[in-house]
A = this chain, B = another copy of it.
């Protein structure tokens, strides 16, 4: 099956970004599972869920994803591994329109039940919004701000605003966290996926001060959650006033990782993320905290120096 996508529009800069629809946890395609139940769910998403959401969201003239993220950050989400509030707000906003534009009572109920049953449903539009945020800061001459962090299970790569489309790469690390029942560290693959775009944009682990309950899912203590956010102010260039953290007196999330500060302080950006099984077909087996390899940032810093000398 092919996959319908959310389309996120940055109306200020004219950029469009995209995300698939979230399948849930466990046996899901994006963590490498591909059994019959996975394919069946994907078909239903293509035939029922996608079209239903498309009709409802178009009838609403779009949904303000930034406003959902902003509210969710005040409701215990950090919008990477805790998406319970954002998902609930999304259902609230789209519910009546789903009913009004639905093809049948059964289909509409199945759509509402699927979204209601997946606390991570809003992760994907949040990721696309994060991509739109970072895209708005890309390709600024001489800027040392990181605009992409992505991993493929083997390598971890970053891109930097002032360094065009070049990737600065090092080995993907292993995740420290909590495993779903029946799995453990021996099952884990190294860090994988494009979801670290959330941290790159200032949410995710960078916003964990506002999401202390997440430690039930990824491990650690609420004090750790607070510390992660506090530390990230030291390696970022700004705080985002649209994404305020109530427990930090509504201070905006730390935003814009500065390669120079990462190297100067020897302090890596923190990422919380799902753990994929190392074998294909199994899927997600846990969630936790991980860091990029320092060499990505060292290589990028060297490239920034080179560019400056050659101007």
Contact = CB atoms under 8 A, between A and B. Distances in A.
Interface in A236-271: 246-250
Contacts of A92: 87-88, 91-92, 115-116
A96 B113 contact: yes
A108 interface: yes
Interface in A100-118: 100, 102, 105, 108-110, 112-113, 115-116
A290 B101 CA distance: 46
Interface residues of A, number: 38
A72 to B, nearest CB: 9
A19 interface: no
Contacts of A112: 95-96, 99
B85 A213 contact: no
B84 A95 contact: no
A75 interface: yes
A304 interface: no
Q: For the complex of A and B, list the 9 residue pairs with the smallest distance between their C-beta atoms, beginning with the closest.
A: A88-B88, A212-B246, A213-B246, A74-B213, A95-B112, A96-B113, A96-B112, A96-B109, A75-B76
Given A75-B77, A85-B88, A222-B248, 18 more contacts: A74-B76, A75-B213, A76-B85, A85-B85, A88-B89, A92-B115, A92-B116, A93-B116, A96-B113, A97-B109, A99-B109, A100-B105, A212-B246, A212-B247, A222-B246, A222-B247, A223-B249, A247-B247
